[in-house]
Amino acid sequence: YDNRDGHIWMDGKMVDWRDANVHILTHAMHYASSVFEGERAYNGKIFKSREHSERLKRSAQMIDFEVPYTVDEIEAAKVEVLAASGLQDAYVRAIAWRGAGEDMGVASARNPVRLAIAAWEWGAYYGDAKMKGAKLDISKWKRPSPETIPSHAKAAGLYMICTMSKHAAEAKGCSDAMMFDYRGYVAEATGANIFFVKDGEVHTPDPDCFLNGITRQTVIGMLRDKNIKVHERHIMPEELEGFEQCWLTGTAAEVTPVGQIGDYHFEVGTMTRDIAESYEKLVRA
Ligand code: PMP
């Protein structure tokens, strides 16, 4: 990703893609003091752009720093990045972090907070799983308690166990891993929220210790508009056996059907297909 043509917005100006670098003594590199966003543009327009910029600011506040730009400024920067990319459909990554400066210990209040935004092409997150249903491993890592870490922030530190879980899953031939939370309830995948279908109704974990995804909220709204009952609740592992369908939601994942989690199998059913289609229509509307 580092060696290509293009431009990246960094601290208020566009820099050459290959020059968008940071110093090795960047605080965020050592202590995970960074937050980010994953967004998708469709037909030249970022879906729910403002919500993403607002979440970026909130995530930073949750891990104790302030993004030094307003939501309007971030919005303008994203428009600039997208235009410079020449792409109509793109993945947009904004990242804010504590930079290098006076401090190199755990504390870093005197270091500058920085912001960068890049856009590139990113197709289906799970490749052809999008059609036939992704196969998920079950991770040994548990989503942490909100008393252990600010679990609702989209912060880099929360992704350490996600990367390890996803690597373990891929080594077993799976596309991703489903994670339980610290209490043992079903939580989410490593970069996407999870939904289940049983008897025509939808069940999805209560997002009380992980990201309440923008796609998740969009999909719940779509389901309710279709008069489908959605239960946001704690889901026990033994319930997996009784669910008929399953899908993942996320900006990158969009709506991806799940065919298997560990030894549990799900059909890629009509509701899953219908929601995936409706979501695709909505983001391009
Ligand atoms: N959970 C995690 C851990 C994620 O990384 C993401 C992707 N941002 C999501 C859920 C889904 O969030 P969204 O729908 O806002 O992209």
Interface predicted TM-score (ipTM): 0.99
Ligand 1 pocket: which of 215, 248, 275 to mutate (most atoms within 8 A of CB): 215
Nearest CA to ligand 1 atom 13: 213
Is 57 among the catalytic positions?
A: no
Which of 154, 166, 198, 281 is catalytic? The answer is 154
| Lowest-pLDDT range of 124-133, 190-199, 210-219, 234-243 | 124-133
CATH of domain 7-120: 3.30.470.10
Supply the pTM of this predicted model: 0.97
- Where, residue-wise, is CATH 3.30.470.10 in the chain? 7-120
Question: Can you tell me the distance from the alpha carbon of 156 to that of 32, in angstroms, rounded to the nearest whole number?
Answer: 6
By CB neighbour count within 10 A (0-12 exposed, 13-18 middle, 19+ buried), where does 6 fall? middle
- Residue-wise pLDDT for 104-115, tens only, equals 999 999 999 999
CATH of domain 129-283: 3.20.10.10
Q: Which of 33, 62, 63, 32 is nearest to 160 (CA)?
A: 32
**Other CB atoms within 10 A of residue 99 CB:** 20
Question: How many C-alpha atoms does 33 have within 13 Å on its Cβ side?
Answer: 26
Is residue 269 within 8 A of residue 201, CB to CB? The reply is no
For the CA of 252, the nearest atom of ligand 1: 16
Residue 260 is predicted with a pLDDT of: 98
Residue 129 is predicted with a pLDDT of: 78
Structural element, H or E, at residue 187: strand 186-189
Strands 193-198, 201-205: parallel, antiparallel or unpaired by DSSP? antiparallel
The runs of H, that is alpha helices, within 134-269 are 160-171, 214-225
